[in-house]
Amino acid sequence: MRNAGLRVFNAVSRQAAPFGFDRTPSQTIGKFLGLLDGTHQTGDLRTAVNAFGAGQAGVVTKLLEFLHGLHCLSVSPQSSVRAHWLAAIQDQDLVHLGHAALLYRRHDEFFLFDPWLLPWLAESSIPSLWGSLLPRPAAIFLTHDHDDHVDTRTLLTMPKDIPIIVPSRTNRRKLYYDYVSLLRELGFTRVIELAHRETFPFDGGCVASVPFFGEDPCDIEMPRNCYLIADRGRNTLVHADS
């Protein structure tokens, strides 16, 4: 699958501009955007661009120049984002990032739920929280198929080698939202379908998939998840719109 381009937002300068590409697979664009998370050096980006091959490296280079021209990039001798988050929140804290987006800290790693970080309009008076301003998550969890919970604009900014957990087609009755195809098109390489009562384990606990009830009275019974974080004797339920 291929897309015809993307639209770049800079909420600080209140600019929005289109960037078109013809024959470059959208996975390539998605993977490259995921590398702009503040944890990679210039040499790492150069190596990644070259690895895309001559047929795609040119478009990715133009995208990098395009982002630089819109003042969407900056260079720093080191990344301090993770250190700031570790200092600001405690182990087992759950932080509301706006709308349904939640960030859970487990020891020194983080789980991200339903990330929707960008404003609807570039003209928003409040600058957006960008993916690179968050600590790199150990996993991303999506609860259900509504576009304010599966936000492709936010997901494009995330590193694409992160596990991303989604509702499983095992729980469908009639229809199913094809998370796997969508997320692979964005460049994600580790998409995990988690059926109800299945778990995503981690040292000292797990995140369990539990049934989602609601929210639409005209619901067409798509498979959807809530998530129960069982972490060292403490349970936290992420129920989103359920």
SS3 of 124-148: the string is CCCCCCCHHHCCCCCEEECCCCCCC
User: What are 152-165's pLDDT values in tens digits?
Assistant: 989 988 999 999 99
Residue 199: pLDDT above 70? yes
Q: Which of 153-157, 175-179, 214-218, 234-238 has the lowest mean pLDDT?
A: 214-218
Confidence of residue 3 (pLDDT cuts 50, 70, 90): low
In whole angstroms, how far apart are CA 55 and each of 6, 22, 150, 157, 187?
Answer: 19, 11, 30, 23, 17
Residue 140: pLDDT above 70? yes
CATH numbers and ranges of domains, the chain: 5-69 (no CATH), 83-238 (3.60.15.10)
pTM: 0.86
Q: Which of 24-33, 95-104, 126-135, 165-174 has the lowest mean pLDDT?
A: 126-135
Across the range 76-84, mean pLDDT stands at 83
Across the range 203-232, mean pLDDT stands at 86
| 161 in Cβ contact with 139 (< 8 Å) | no
Which residue has tokens 């972490």? 231
User: CA torsion 155→156→162→164, rounded to 10°?
Assistant: 40
Q: What is the pLDDT of residue 1?
A: 44
User: What are 19-66's pLDDT values in tens digits?
Assistant: 887 766 778 888 999 998 888 888 888 898 888 888 888 888 899 899
